[in-house]
Structure 1
Amino acid sequence: MFDDDELYALLLSLLAGLATTVGGLIAILQKPDNKLLAFLLGIACGVMFTLSVVELFIKNGIENGFGWAEVLESKFTGKDDGMKLSKARLMRLGLLMAITMTLHNLPEGFAVAFSSFTSIGPVMAAAIGVHNVPEGIIVAAPVYAATGSRRQALMMATASGLSEPAGALLALYFIKPYLTPMILHCILAGTGGMMSAVCVIELYPEGKKCKHDGQLWRGIAFGTMLMAGTLYVGV
C-alpha cells in the first residue's frame, strides 16, 4: 500500500505534528489564572500574527482570510457579552484555535511530505516540529482554563497536530497531481489571513478581559520572539 519513500514522508509529518502534544503538555502543567491566561493568550497572539505576517502574508490571502474568520467567529464565539471572560467563551476560543491551527497544519503536511523526497526532509520536519510546540500551547491553554480537564486539552492539541500527517496523506494521494506552487501559496496565504484576523478579532480582546495588560504584552513579545526564532531556523 505504501512504498518506503511514502512511509518515510508520513513518519516525518507525524513526528512534526505530534510536537503539538508537547505544547499541550506544557499548557496543562498548571491551570492558568487570569494573570497566566493573559500571558498565554499574548503568546498565542504573538505566535499567530508573526507566523501569518512573516511566512504567509499575501494581500489577497489576507482579504479572503478575514472573511473566513468572520464565519468562524459567528459559529464559535457568538456575540460579545461584555468584559466577562467566561468558561464558555474560553472553550469556544480553544475550538477556534484548534480549527485555525488544523487549517494551518494541513499545508505544512504538504510541505513535509514533498520535502521528504529531498535531503532537507528531516530538517524541514524538525523545524516545523519546533514551531508546533507553541501552537499546541495556544490550543490547550484556553481549553484547560475552561474545562479543568487535562485530557480534553491534550486531546485537542494533539488533534490539531494530527492534521499534519493528514495533509501529507492528501498531498501524496490526491493533491500531488494537481498541486502547483501558486495553489499552495494561495492556500497558505488564505490561512495566514485567517490567523491574522483571529488575533485581532478574538485573541487580543480576550486577553484584555483578563485585566493584566502587562502580562498580555509580555506574552505577545515572547510569542513573537519565539516564533521568529523557529522561523529563522528553517521553517
Structure 2
Amino acid sequence: MFASVIDYFESISPVLAAFYATLFTWGMTAVGAATVYLFKNPNKKLLDGMLGFTGGVMIAASFWSLLAPAIEMSDGDGFKKVMPAAIGFALGALFLFGLDKLLPHLHLNHDMKDKEGIKTPWRKTTLLVLAITLHNIPEGLAVGVLFGGVAAGIPEASIAGAITLAIGIGLQNLPEGLAVSFPLRRAGMSKHKSFFYGQSSALVEPIAAVIGAIAVAFFTPVLPYALAFAAGAMVFVVIEEVVPETQQGNNTDIATLGFIGGFIIMMMLDVALG
C-alpha cells in the first residue's frame, strides 16, 4: 500500500503533493479534536503520555528527516559541510522565538495571567488555539520543504521520506487536536465549537507546506538551510512548549515514556520507509 501511495505522489506536482500530505496531517488533528464528542473529559495520564509522544516524534523527525539530510546534501568537509545546517537551525529557532514573543497565546493548563506575546483583550479560548497553531507552522513547513527538494531534483530528498514525515506528524497531531478541544470544552464552549477551533489550529500546516515547497523548488540552494530551519523551529516548540506542559503534574514518568516511544516510532518509520 505504501508503494502505491508513493507512486501516486510521484505522478503529481510536488507542491500539490505537499498540500495533499498536509491535508492528511490536518485531518489527524481533526480526528483528535472530534474525540470531544465521545468523552466528557480525557484521562490526564493519557493526555500527558500522548503529549510526550508528540514531543518524541518532533525531535526524531527534526534529526532523521531534516537535519541529517541537510548535512548530507551540503558541500565541503568539516565545518564547511555542517555550517548550512547550523545556520538554518539557529534561524528556525529564532523565528519561532520571535513568533512566541509577538503572537498572543496561552499554553495548556495555564491561567490567563500567564499568557504570552503582545497584550491583547482576546479570550482564553482564542489564545489556546493560537498556542497550538504555533506548533503547527514548522510541521507544515518541514513537509513542504522536503517535497520542494524532490521538485528541485535533490537526491537526498525523496517522496518516500516526505510521506514518512507527514505520517509521523499526522500521528502526533492526533493528541494535539485532543489537547485543544477539551480545554476549550472545559472553558464553556459547545462541543461543536470546541471541535471547530480544535481542528482549525492545524489549518496553517497546508499553507506553510505550500510556501515551503514553492520556495525550495525555485531556490534550490536554500534547501539545506530550509530543512535545518524547520528542524530548529520544531525543536524550539518541543523545548519551549511541549515538554514543560507534560512536566507540570504528577505524570512526568508517563510523559517521559511517551516521549521515548514517540522518538522510537518516528525513527523506525523514517529509517524503514524513508
Name the TM-score class by shorter chain.
0.7 to 0.9
Please give the alpha-carbon distance, in whole angstroms, between the structure 1 residues aligned to 2:138 and 2:15. Answer: 22
CA RMSD of aligned residues (A): 3.3
Q: Select 2:96's aligned residue among 69, 77, 88.
A: 69
Please give the alpha-carbon distance, in whole angstroms, between the structure 1 residues aligned to 2:215 and 2:128. Answer: 32
Instruction: Answer whether contact 2:14 2:148 (CA < 8 A) is retained.
Output: no
Please give the alpha-carbon distance, in whole angstroms, between the structure 2 residues aligned to 1:234 and 1:111. Answer: 17
Report the TM-score when normalising by structure 1: 0.75
Instruction: Answer whether contact 2:60 2:266 (CA < 8 A) is retained.
Output: yes
Q: Give the alignment of 1:139-158 within 5 angstroms.
A: 139-148=176-185, 149-158=194-203
1:124 CA displacement? 4.6
Partner SS for 1:157: coil
Please give the alpha-carbon distance, in whole angstroms, between the structure 2 residues aligned to 1:225 and 1:23. Answer: 20
Structure 1 counterpart of 2:136: 98
Please give the alpha-carbon distance, in whole angstroms, between the structure 2 residues aligned to 1:193 and 1:125. Answer: 18
Structure 2 counterpart of 1:198: 237
Structure 2 counterpart of 1:44: 54
Please give the alpha-carbon distance, in whole angstroms, between the structure 2 residues aligned to 1:7 and 1:221. Answer: 35
Q: Partner amino acid for 1:37?
A: L
Name which of structure 1's ranges 121-130 and 92-101 shifts more when overlaid on structure 2.
121-130
Q: Select 1:185's aligned residue among 211, 214, 224.
A: 224
Report the TM-score when normalising by structure 2: 0.66
Instruction: Answer whether contact 1:94 1:141 (CA < 8 A) is retained.
Output: no
1:216 CA displacement? 0.9
Unaligned 5+ residue runs, structure 1?
A: none
Structure 2 counterpart of 1:9: 14
Instruction: Answer whether contact 1:112 1:121 (CA < 8 A) is retained.
Output: yes
Unaligned 5+ residue runs, structure 2?
A: 1-9, 37-41, 68-84, 112-123, 186-193
- 1:228 lines up with 2:273 in the alignment: no
Instruction: Answer whether contact 2:33 2:195 (CA < 8 A) is retained.
Output: yes
1:228 CA displacement? 0.9
1:72 CA displacement? 2.1
Partner SS for 1:134: helix
Partner SS for 1:186: helix
- 1:207 lines up with 2:246 in the alignment: yes
Partner SS for 1:209: coil
Q: Give the alignment of 1:18-167 within 5 angstroms.
A: 18-31=23-36, 32-57=42-67, 58-76=85-103, 84-86=109-111, 90-114=128-152, 123-124=160-161, 126-137=163-174, 139-148=176-185, 149-167=194-212
Instruction: Answer whether contact 2:129 2:197 (CA < 8 A) is retained.
Output: no
Please give the alpha-carbon distance, in whole angstroms, between the structure 1 residues aligned to 2:106 and 2:184. Answer: 21
1:205 CA displacement? 0.7
Q: Partner amino acid for 2:232?
A: G
Please give the alpha-carbon distance, in whole angstroms, between the structure 2 residues aligned to 1:84 and 1:129. Answer: 28
Instruction: Answer whether contact 1:17 1:163 (CA < 8 A) is retained.
Output: no
Q: 1:20 to 1:190 in 2, by over 3 A?
A: same
1:138 CA displacement? 5.3
1:46 CA displacement? 0.6
Please give the alpha-carbon distance, in whole angstroms, between the structure 2 residues aligned to 1:46 and 1:154. Answer: 22
For residues 58-101 of structure 1, give each alpha carbon's deviation from its aligned partner in whole angstroms, at most 9, with x where no partner exists.
Answer: 33333333322321221246699xx9534656434312112232
Instruction: Answer whether contact 1:19 1:132 (CA < 8 A) is retained.
Output: no
1:144 CA displacement? 1.6
Question: Larger radius of gyration, structure 1 or 2?
Answer: 2
Q: 1:210 to 1:102 in 2, by over 3 A?
A: farther
Q: Partner amino acid for 2:230?
A: T
